[in-house]
Amino acid sequence: QVQLVESGGGLVQPGGSLRLSCTASGHFSRDDMEWYRQGPGEQRELVATVTSGGSTNYADSVKGRFTISRDVAKNTVYLQMNNLKPEDTAVYYCHVPWLGPTGYLYHFWGQGTQVTVSS
């Protein structure tokens, strides 16, 4: 069974930085890896994507502050978050959309890690 294990969340002051990590038990070198977040009372939203080829995309709200990267050999995706703002407070989830051999699209999620930005 595929597992995604996240780490790196915590409490940080506005303007601070955190780095999230997500390690997959399977091999997803051919798949996109993504970070989502869900704030209190809000819907889950896509934050950043890194493709199998290394291309990246970001939500407008985090452009210039967050950087997504991946280490294929370690099956790990990272989210470096700089200049954090209170509105970045959320539970952050790692996500891998995996297209199976039958054409069915599976969605694998991590357990979530809390990020709180507050003074």
pLDDT tens track for 62-90: 999 999 999 988 889 999 999 999 999 99
pLDDT band (50, 70, 90) for residue 56 = very high
In contact, 96 and 32? CB cutoff 8 Å: yes
Residue 81 is predicted with a pLDDT of 98
Question: pLDDT at position 52, please?
Answer: 87
| Residue 73, pLDDT score | 87
Asked if 77 and 19 touch (Cβ cutoff 8 Å), the reply is no
Question: What 8-state DSSP symbol labels residue 87?
Answer: G
% pLDDT > 90, the chain? 80
